[in-house]
Amino acid sequence: NAAIGFRLREGDALCAAIFSLQPREAGGGEGMSTEDKAKMVLDDLLERLPEQFDVEDLRQRMDEVTPYAMVCLQETERMNKLLKEIRRSLQELDLGLKGDLTMSEPMENLMFALAEDRVSASWERFAYPSLRSLASWLVNLLQRVSQLSEWGADLGLPRVTWLSGLFNPQSFLTAVMQTTARRNDWPL
C-alpha cells in the first residue's frame, strides 16, 4: 500500500510538471486566450458566490450556547474566511485584467488556475481538503453553504448532517457526545 501510494504521488507530480511546461496561450488564434477564459470563469464565480454569513446575528440568536450552536458558529466563521478570500482575490484579479491594477504573481496564479479549471492555492489555505476540479468544487462549496444556512436558521441539532461537508467533522461528533453525556448525566 505504501509503495502504491508513493507511485501515485510520484505520477501526479510528474504529470503536474509536464502540464506546467505546456504553453499557457494557444498559438494558432483558435479558441480563447488564458485571460478570456479566466475572465469568463471569474464573472461566473462572482455571480454565483454567496454572501458571507452574518455571524453577529447568529451570536445574538443564541439563547443558550449549546455544543451544536458552537459548532455551527465555528463552521460559519471558517466558511466566511473562505468566502472572503475568494471574493477578494476574484475582485483583485478582475481589476488586474481590466488594467486597473498591475498583475502580481498571486493574481497570475489565480488567472491560470481559473483558466485551467483548478482551485486556487490561495483558496486551498482556507478551504477543506479536496481534489475536485474548480467547477465541481464550486458546486460542493454551494452545497456546504446551503447546509450551514439551514443549520444556522435554528442553531439546534440538524435532522441530517453531511459530516464531510463540514470543515471539522470531529467537532460535530464531539458536540453529539457532549450533548448525550449531559442529557444522561454521564461523565465525558
Task: Assign 3 a pLDDT band (cuts: 50, 70, 90).
Answer: confident
Which fold, 33-183?
A: Substrate Binding Domain Of Dnak; Chain:A; Domain 2 (1.20.1270)
Predicted confidence (pLDDT) per residue in 18-61, tens digit: 666 555 554 444 578 889 999 999 999 999 999 999 999 999 98
Average pLDDT over residues 123-127: 96
pLDDT for residue 119 is more than 60: yes
pTM for this prediction? 0.82
Helix H, strand E, coil C: the string for 52-118 is CCCHHHHHHHCCCCCHHHHHHHHHHHHHHHHHHHHHHHHHHHHHHHHCCCCCCHHHHHHHHHHHCCC
Q: Hey, where are the domains in the chain?
A: 33-183
Single out the residue of 140, 142, 178 nearest to residue 157, CA to CA: 178
Higher pLDDT, residue 120 or 14:
120
pLDDT of res. 23? 56
Whether 152 and 72 have beta carbons less than 8 Å apart is answered as yes
pLDDT score of 173 more than 60: yes
The angle subtended at Cα 78 by Cα 43 and Cα 92, nearest 5°, is 30
- pLDDT: which is higher, 30 or 124: 124
